[in-house]
Every structure is written in structure tokens, then in C-alpha cells.
A and B are shown apart, each in its own frame.
Chain A
Amino acid sequence: MLKEETLKVVINGQEVESSFGKTILECARDSGVDIPTLCFDSRVKATAACRLCSVNVKGRRLPVAACAQKMEPGMEITTDSSDLESMRKTILDLVVSENPTGECVRCEEIGPCELHTLTKRYGSKPGRFHGALSGEKSKDTNPFIFRDYSQCILCYRCTSVCGELEQAHAIVPAGRGFGSRIAAAFDSGLLDSSCTFCGQCIQTCPTGALMDRKMLGQAKASEVTKVKTVCPYCGTGCGLNLHVANNKVIGTTPDWDSPSGEGSLCVKGQFATDFVGHKDRLKTPLIRRNGVLTEATWDEAYDLIVEKFTQIKEESGPNAFTFWTSARATTESNYIMQKFARAVIGTNNVDNCSRT
């Protein structure tokens, strides 16, 4: 069946052009109409759990979840009627009724979370509905991910991102109903699961249930400057933001706009920036003098290298050398290295550690 590329729909009385395959939510956001969501992450299949995005479609008996419903030609959609808005307020009141208050540092230290941004907007406060709380603080002692499921709102973003996007299948929903929980298989800690510590679950979490453990207690969100940079660990070059407070790197968050990785990081880029300010970090070349490594200038170091390389080549020939490049080097650096090996030294002994 041949399908037209574009279709016309009406959102809040305004005619809007959209294209086939888009959801109501995508189309609305494209055209500047804001629909609140909590369980939505555009990178994974919609779970449609929170139902905040429910909108009215003319001719449908019940509201539909905008995040999961595809646009159809001629749809007439209302996103902001007072019924829908008061439904959203009630849902938010229900959500905040399942979490304890006053224990979470997320908004203060990391910055406002999605949940509390929304509850503020809707004037939703805990205490209107009373009753059982859900979720518990996890006993997981892994060094990277702080897990406090008493703050969890079971949006299932972390589990979708972990399974669908990262293909790590480390965390899943477990149990059912109000007793549903987020767990690794057999409720083990993440170190005993298939978790790769990519940190994406933290990044998608709309609450303080998942946080970067090393970042906690370091600074107030207002003291943090974010410095956009490229991860130094490997040639992929994922974009990231260094969080800097009091002239110290306290952690990283992904740069969602980076063309490399689009925000997905690995454990190193995500959690291993402590080396920046580490006391053992080398800041100058070291030369072994009388058996002791001593600080030197770059000129001294290069002079020594040239001297020794020339000597070895003369005494033992070019094949006495072998060159290894690092996975952290870019393609260009790798190229230069093999050029150096072949053209300057005259050997084919050159390889890269990521090939082994």
C-alpha cells in the first residue's frame, strides 16, 4: 500500500502537519505543544505506564496515551482540557503518595528531577492521599550506582533502556502490582549481574532513585559548572559533560547532542574521571636517572628518545623495535604511529591493543 508522506491532524484546534509513523506525542512536541510525561524516553519503546500523556481523540470513548498511539489522518486531538489536566494532577498526587518525603538529595545536588519539576508545575504535594509506601533502599554495594527504590516511581525507563537500548538485560521489573520492583536477576547486586555500568539507567531516571554514587555529597547543584568535552578514553570520542565544582571534576553526564554515541557512554567515560585530579597522575615526563624516576622537560625526554632509538637501530636493526598503539588513540594517531614505524624506523612491527 502506498502511503502519503505527510498527514494533517488537528491539535487543540490548530491544524498541524505530521508524517506517518509518528506518535501523537512526537507530533505534538514537534509543533510546540507540550504534553507532560514521566515514563517516556524517546530512545525506547513506549511502556505507557504513567498515563500523564493521555489526550482526548475525537470519537474515542477514553483518552489515549499519546506516547504510544500513532497519528492517523484527520485525528482531532485535545491535549489540555481541564478534565485532562485534573486527571494529571490526580495521577501526580497518587505518585507522590507512594514515596517518603524529605529524604532525597537528587534535586539539591544533581539538579531538579523530572518528577519534581512536574509536581511543582501541577501544584501537587504529598499528603493528599495516604497509605502504603512502595520500594526500598537497595543493599547493593556496587561502587557506581546508588539505588534507592523508595524514591522509585516505577516508570520502567531504566529497565527498558538497560534491555532494549543497552542490550545488557541487567535490570528488569519483578513482582507485580503495587509490589512491583526493579531488580537484577535473583535480586542480586549489580556487580553479580550482567550490568556493564554504562550508567544509562541513572541518566534516564526521572527521580532520585538512581544516582551516581561518586557524585553524591560532593557539591550543591548550584555550585556545579558543566564543561562540555570529549571522552579521552577511546577513539570513539563520546561527548560528555564534566561536572566541575570547586575546581574539581566530580563526575560526568552524557552529552546527548554528541553525534558519537548520542549520549550512551561506557563505564569508563561515565564513571572513571577521578584520574583527572588524582595524586598519582603524571604531569611531566619522567626520566630514570641512576635507577630513580625523576621529573624532566619534554625537550629532555625527546632528546633521550632520539638518542636511544638511533643507537638501537644501528646496533640491532629496525626489527628490534615493535610499536603498540593504544585503544585510546584516534584513527589519525594510529596512522601516524604506523607511518613512523615503517617510514622512520623501517619495521612492520606495529599493532594496536584493541586488536588483541
Chain B
Amino acid sequence: MTAKKGVEPTPILNALHSMQEKEGKLTRASLEEIAKAHNMPIANIFDAVTFYHYFKLDGDSDKKSAICKGPVCSLPGIKGQDLADMRSISCPGLCDSPVPIFADGEFRGTKGVDQVFELPHDTGTKGVIFRDSRKRKGWILDEYIKFGGYGQLQSLINDQNPEKALGVLKESGLLGRGGAGFPLALKWGAVRNAEGSEKYIVCNADEGEPGTLKDRPMLHLEPHLLLEAMAIAGFIVGASHGIIYLRYEYPLAQNILNKAIEAAEDANILGNNINNTDYSFYLSVSRGSGAYICGEETSLLNSLEGKRPWPRERPPFPTTSGLWGKPTAVNNVETLSVVPRILENGAKWFQSVGLGEGNFGSKLYSVSGDVNRPGNFELPLGVTVRELILNHAGGVVGGGKVKAFTLGGISGGMLSGDFLDLTLDFKKPQEYDTFLGSGALVVLGEDSCVVDFARSCAVFFEDESCGKCYPCRIGAVRMRELMDGISGDSSLIPDTLDHIKEIGDVMTTASACGLGQSAPKVLQGMVKYFSEELDFHITKRVCPTNVCGFDANNTS
């Protein structure tokens, strides 16, 4: 660690990772060492460690090789051979090259490791975040600077007028791209106005929602854009530390980000007294260890503090009481990455990029499932589902119709192919009890079975429920069991559908966080739009697409 670097504000996760890398697992002795170093009771370290998929305690079974059995990778057109006896991992964000495997600490899609370095598909539009990415290597500091990089940070420091910059962001109408669509300027304004001199900028790079892979190319190909944005955020709100919370499944991004930070600090573009001014901004990367819930911002903060990553009750909100109880802005990679562009080109320009009323800027959409060209697409906010799936993602494999598609990965709900004219923005989908969320769509063609798909969504939420609150902890399991019943595994009980509705309602209204609240959404979409197909499963015990295995002997 170089002297000019600030003290790493969130050292515990990285300490656990280093220990595990060194010894292959976490022993009692090593946890005791870490507990002592960080003044934590040993039981609390044990508590946190047992939460994650990828920390290994002495005696834990080895996840040497495993395969994704997530909702996208389980679609019949995708999953290929049946690998039932292989261990499974939660979606590692490689839904565009399925089916990914995890081996020797690496996550590989069918296209190999190179997959993660792929740019979003060329959509023929200019692009906002990836504007320059085809012309230069954004991860190399000199090339980034050659195209004006760090210019916005520098002029902000020169102007000394953070209020003005905040005004531009406010006028731009930028809404958070992490899922909730919260106005960025409102959040930053709240942190700026919050009492206290110690504040933090946290970048949420935990993308773990099945089907969502949009932050991936930004992290790998435009790391400096993100770092510049975080330093800008720090200047505006009055923070001197930025932490990137990176999902475990993106190990290469950790290297890239750390190298980018080092290069920028060596050039005095970031770090101590940036370009010999009064402004210092230090950055660090903390690596998660496999837990979808850590994408929820308060759970993320607990994770960074080395605590059990349960979501916190709100209020207080992170803007006043975030990391270590200090005012904190938590923002998604995409939300941050667009900030330097807005400051460069102005609010009016940004507004003009979107389509339709109130839709400002571009959006990265991820499309996966039964489409010809899965991947990421940078398009104006507010394109229709039709345009995204049929024009850009190449339509359904084999030329068939779209049977169903999900929004927000699998959290935003599921609609049938009758809704192709829906615009993909923050408002319209809500009219149909769905939401845009992360902007990821999973597409089901006619050969896929919505019941089987809903079942694998239920499996995902069962695996990822944190276990804090009753509606979700117990509800998620019961929902998966009910889906097992419908799709053939166990003997069906007559009031299955009523139970799905009843438990779904309670999960939606009473769960403590967004995970439990949205976990039943795909199942609710199934009940609403696919009653006929559902009825075949329930009363005739037949799967019209022949995906669900109805086996009279198989009642396990």
C-alpha cells in the first residue's frame, strides 16, 4: 500500500479473500486473526462468512467446479445436456454465452473468458457511455485522457462550483439505473446537505440479477469513466472516499479497476491532492463473495462493514446514515458512468437522447434467453420491447414468436408476447404491475415452458433470500415447493393456485426488502397471462411444451 493512499475504509471482505486465497480455505485460526485485527467478536465473523456462497470454511464441501442452473440457463433451448449431478452456482452474469461454468476460480461462458471483454452490440446509435469505446482502449489511462477523459473532473475542481454541477444533473433528469429509478441529483443533494464531514461514495457493482449483464462491459472496458464519475460525486457531495463493491463473479474487473486506480493515482489524477489542488479522493475495490442480496444497498453497506449482509430497516436512509453510519451515496455503475457525459454535453443534450416524454438519456438493456443475438444494447431510454427484441436482439431463435418476456432480470415481472409495444422506461411498465428494474429482459420463445421457467425463478429466490424476514424466508421456499408440485415433481395439493396467490400477496406487501417483494412477480405473471398453460399442468398433468417431466414414480 502506498503512502498517499488513504486508509482503506472497508478492509474486512478483502482480508477474508486474501486469507482464503493464501490457505485455500478459512480456518479457525485465520478467522481469529482477522477478528482480532478488526476488533470483532469471532462469532460475528463466523456469522458473516457463513452467509456467502464463495467463502469456504474448514470442512465445507469444495465448489471446485459448478454450473449455472439459473432461470436463463435452464431454458430448454439453452441448457443442452442435463448436468443434474453437477453443483450449481447462482447466475454469474454470463447469460449471453450460456451455460457458464465455474472452475478454478474463474467463470467461463461458452465463448471463454473473452466474453467479458465484449462491447455491447453495435445498435447503430451513437451511444453515450460507450461513445468512444470502439475508437480507443478506455482502460488505458493515456487513451482515456486523449479523448477528454478526466476533463470533467478537472474543470469541476477548477470551477469550484459543485452546486452548478448538481444543477445540471438535476436538470438532466437522470434517474438511477440500479433498479429503483431514483433521481440522482436528489440523492447527491441529500448527501451533500447531510450533517457530518465524513461522507462516502459507494458504487454498486454487485449486479446479480439473472439476465443482467449491463455493468459488466463498463467495468471491464470503461473503468476510468467510472472512477472519474466517482471522484466527481465525491467533489459534489463532499466525500473523500469511494468504494466499489464488486460482485465476486467479476474477478477480472477487480484487476482492471485496481490497475486503473493505481495508474490514475500515480498520475495524480486521483488520490492525494489531485493535480496539486486541495481536493483528495481515494478509491478502493471491495469484492463480494456471492450473494445477490448484497446488491440491495443497505445489505451492501452491511457487507462492506464485515457484518451479516441483511438489509437495514429504513429510515434512516444511507444518504444520512450509510457506511459506518456516515452519509453515503450508493449508486449503480451505469448511473455513475453517465455523469461525466452529462457534465460535458449539458442537460438539454442528455434529455434529447431519450425517447418519449420524461425519458431522458440512454439505457443499457441486457437481453438473454431464446433470442438470436443475446447481450447488451445501448439504446435511448424508452425503446419498445418489439424494437429491442426483434430488431436488435435478432428475434426469437428459429424465427418463432415471443411467448413471454421478463423485465428487470426476473424481479420486474413477466408479460406475454402480447405486450411487445410496451416502452422500456421507468413509468410505463408499472401500469402492468411490472417494472424496468435493471433493464434486463429474459425472452421465452414458444418452445419454452412458463411454468418450468417460473419454477427456476422460484429456485433462484429461495437460494438468494437472506433469511431475515418471515414472508420471504419461508414464503420463497413454499413457492418453490408449490412450483415443484405444478411442474410434476411431487403430488399436487388442490389449493396450489390459491396458495401461490396468498403467499405471493404476503411476500409482496410484507417482506422487508425488494427481494422478497418482487420474488413472486414472475409467478404472478404466470397466473395472470398463462392460465391455460398452467391449467394443463395442474389438471391434465401435461406440459404442452414437453419441458416439465411428469413422472408418476418421481415424487421426490
Cβ of A323 within 8 Å of any chain B Cβ, yes or no, is no
Query: Closest CB of chain B to A195's CB: distance in Å?
Result: 10
- Judged by a CB distance under 8 angstroms, whether B16 is at the interface is no
Residue of B nearest to A131 (CB): B481
A174 within 8 A of B: yes
* A104-131 interface bits toward B, Cβ cutoff 8 Å, 1 = contact, 0 = none: 0000000000000000000000000111
Contact A172 B51 (CB under 8 A): no
A173 to B506, CA, bound (A): 24
Residue numbers in A under 8 Å from B46 (CB-CB): 172, 174, 183, 185-186
Max chain A CB contacts within 10 Å: which of B42, B46, B473? B473
Complex Cα distance, B501 from A150, in Å, reads: 28
B493 proximity list for chain A (CB < 8 A):
130
Given the contacts A129-B478, A178-B476, A169 and B313 also touching, CB distance less than 8 Å: no
Does B146 reach chain A (CB closer than 8 Å)? no
- The contact of A175 among B44, B51, B313, B509, by CB within 8 Å, is B51
B484 and chain A: residue at smallest CB distance? A131
CB neighbors of B among A171-189 (8 A): 171-180, 183-186
The reply to whether B467 and A179 form a contact with Cβ atoms under 8 Å apart is yes
Known: A130-B481, A193-B43. Contact between A177 and B499, CB under 8 A?
no
Say yes or no: B41 contacts A177, CB within 8 Å.
Answer: no
B113 to chain A, nearest CB (A): 29
- Chain A residue nearest to B468 (CB atoms) is A49
CB of A176 within 8 A of CB of B502, answer: no
Q: What separation, in Å, do the CA atoms of A48 and B463 have in the docked complex?
A: 21
Contact string against B for A residues 37-58, beta-carbon threshold 8 Å, 1 for contact and 0 otherwise: 0000000001111111010000
CB-CB nearest in chain A for B32: A185
Say yes or no for B470: interface residue by CB 8 A criterion: yes
Minimum Cβ distance to chain B for residue A72 (Å) = 9
* Min CB gap B331→A, angstroms: 23
* Least CB separation from B511: chain A residue: A51
State A169–B35 Cα separation when bound (angstroms).
Answer: 12
Residue contact B517 to A62, C-beta cutoff 8 Å: yes
For the complex, is B477 an interface residue (Cβ under 8 Å from A)?
yes
A335 to chain B, nearest CB (A): 39
**Is A63's beta carbon under 8 Å from chain B?**
yes
Hey, which chain A residues are within 8 Å of B528, CB to CB?
A: none
Q: Contact check: which of A176, A183, A186 meets B467 at CB < 8 Å? A: A176
**0/1 interface trace, chain A 80-116, chain B, CB 8 Å (1 if under):** 0000000100110011011000000000000000000
CB proximity of A88 to chain B, nearest CB, Å: 9
Complex: A87 Cα to B475 Cα, angstroms? 12
What mask results when residues 461 to 492 of chain B are scored 1 for a CB within 8 Å of chain A, else 0? 01111111111011111100100000000000
Asked if B308 CB lies within 8 Å of chain A CBs, one says yes
Contact B43 A172 (CB under 8 A): yes
Q: How far is the CB of A48 from chain B (nearest CB, A)?
A: 5
- Expressed in whole angstroms, the minimum distance between the Cβ of A252 and any Cβ of chain B is 26
A339 CB → nearest B CB, Å: 44
- Find chain B residues with CB under 8 A from A50 CB: 469-470
Q: What's the least CB distance linking A218 to chain B, in Å? A: 31
For the complex, is B291 an interface residue (Cβ under 8 Å from A)?
yes
A265 an interface residue at 8 Å Cβ cutoff? no
**Please, which residue of chain A has its CB at the minimum distance from the CB of B40?**
A169
Q: How many Å lie between the Cα of A70 and that of B308 in the bound state?
A: 24
* A94 and B43 contacting across the interface, CB-CB below 8 Å: no
Q: Is A163 an interface residue (CB 8 A)?
A: yes
Whether A48 contacts B28 in the complex (CB less than 8 A), given A130-B493, A193-B43, comes out as no
Specify which of A63, A154, A177 is in contact with B510 (CB 8 Å cutoff).
Answer: A63
The answer to whether B148 has its CB under 8 Å from any CB of chain A is: no
Query: CB distance B474 to A94 under 8 Å?
Result: yes
Residues in B neighbouring A177, C-beta threshold 8 A: 462-467, 473, 476-477
Q: Given B41, B471, B476, which contacts A194 in the complex, CB threshold below 8 Å?
A: B41
Residue contact B47 to A174, C-beta cutoff 8 Å:
yes
- In the complex, A97→B510 CA distance in Å? 18
A131 CB contact (under 8 Å) in B45, B470, B478, B512: B478
CA distance A217 to B358 in the complex (A): 69
Q: Does B503 contact A (CB under 8 A)?
A: yes
Q: How far is the CB of A197 from chain B (nearest CB, A)?
A: 15
B window 484-542: CB within 8 A of A: 493, 499, 502-503, 505-506, 509-512, 517
Q: A68: CB under 8 A from chain B?
A: yes
Q: A170 in the interface, Cβ–Cβ < 8 Å? A: yes
Task: Known A47-B468, A51-B470; judge A176-B42 contact (CB<8 A).
Answer: no
Does A169 lie within 8 Å of B44, measured CB to CB? Answer: yes
Cβ-based interface call for B398 (8 A): no
A132 within 8 A of B: yes
Minimum Cβ distance to chain A for residue B489 (Å): 12
Interface presence of A65 (CB below 8 A): yes
B502 touches A90 (CB 8 A): yes
In the assembled complex, B315 has its CB within 8 A of some CB on chain A: yes
Q: Is B555 engaged at the interface, CB distance under 8 Å to the other chain?
A: no
- A97 to B493 CA separation, bound complex (whole angstroms): 15
Give every chain A residue within 8 A of B478 (Cβ-Cβ). Answer: 94, 97, 129, 131
Tell whether, in the assembled complex, residue A175 and residue B470 are in contact, meaning their CB atoms are under 8 Å apart.
no
Contacts of A130 in B (CB 8 A): 481, 493
A215 → chain B closest CB, angstroms? 26
Cβ contacts under 8 Å, B57 to chain A: 186
> Contacts A48-B512, A176-B465: A94 and B476 contacting too (C-beta < 8 A)?
no
B467, B469, B511: which contacts A178 (Cβ < 8 A)?
B467
- B73-109 contacts to A, CB under 8 A, are none
CA distance A175 to B502 in the complex (A): 27
A174 in contact with B50 given A50-B469, A94-B470 (CB within 8 Å): yes
CB distance from A319 to the nearest CB of B (A): 48
Q: How far is A97 from B473 in the complex, measured between Cα atoms in Å? A: 12
Q: Once the chains bind, are A175 and B43 in contact (CB under 8 Å)? A: no
Q: How far is the CB of B12 from chain A (nearest CB, A)?
A: 15
Contact A48 B469 (CB under 8 A): yes
Which of the residues A178, A186, A194 comes within 8 Å of B474, measured between beta carbons? A178
Cβ contact within 8 Å between B43 and A184: yes
Bound Cα distance from A175 to B462, whole angstroms: 13
Instruction: From the candidates A95, A153, A173, A193, name the one contacting B47 in the complex (CB within 8 A).
Output: A173
Residue ID in chain A nearest B35 by CB atoms: A185
**Measured between alpha carbons, how far is A94 from B479 in the docked complex, in Å?**
11
Q: Point out the residues of chain B lying under 8 angstroms from A179, CB to CB.
A: 467
What are the residues of chain A within 8 A of B50 when measuring CB–CB? 174-176, 183
User: B208: shortest Cβ distance to chain A, in Å?
Assistant: 14
Residues of B within 8 A of A176 (CB): 50-51, 291, 465-467
Chain A residue numbers with a CB within 8 Å of B41 are: 163, 169, 194
Task: Identify which of A48, A87, A185 contacts B506 (C-beta below 8 A).
Answer: A87
A62 with B509, Cβ < 8 A, contacts A172-B47, A176-B467 known: yes
CB <8 Å contact, B471 and A185: no
Assembly CA distance A278 to B509 (angstroms): 56
Residue in B closest to A129 when the chains form the complex, CB atoms: B478
Q: How far is the CA of A95 from the CA of B45 in the complex (A)?
A: 28
Contact B469 A51 (CB under 8 A): yes
CB-CB under 8 A from B475, the residues of chain A are 94
User: Residue on B with the closest CB to A68?
Assistant: B313
- Residues from chain A with a CB closer than 8 A to the CB of B466 are 176-177
* Cα–Cα, bound, A31→B496 (Å): 41
Residue of B nearest to A171 (CB): B43
* Closest CB in chain B relative to A19 CB, distance in Å: 18
Q: Which 10 pairs across A and B sit closest by C-beta, in order of nearness?
A: A169-B41, A180-B467, A172-B47, A68-B313, A185-B43, A185-B46, A94-B474, A131-B481, A174-B50, A177-B465
Question: Would you list 9 pairs from A and B whose C-beta atoms are within 8 A, ordered by A residue?
Answer: A70-B315, A87-B510, A95-B474, A163-B41, A169-B42, A172-B308, A174-B50, A176-B467, A193-B43
Q: Which residues of B come within 8 Å of A, CB atoms? A: 28, 41-47, 50-51, 57, 291, 308, 313, 315, 462-471, 473-478, 481, 493, 499, 502-503, 505-506, 509-512, 517
* Known interface pairs A129-B499, A170-B43, A178-B467; 19 further A-B residue pairs with C-beta atoms within 8 A, sorted by A's residue number: A47-B468, A48-B512, A50-B469, A62-B517, A70-B315, A90-B502, A90-B503, A90-B506, A94-B506, A98-B474, A131-B481, A154-B473, A169-B43, A169-B44, A172-B44, A172-B47, A175-B467, A176-B50, A176-B467
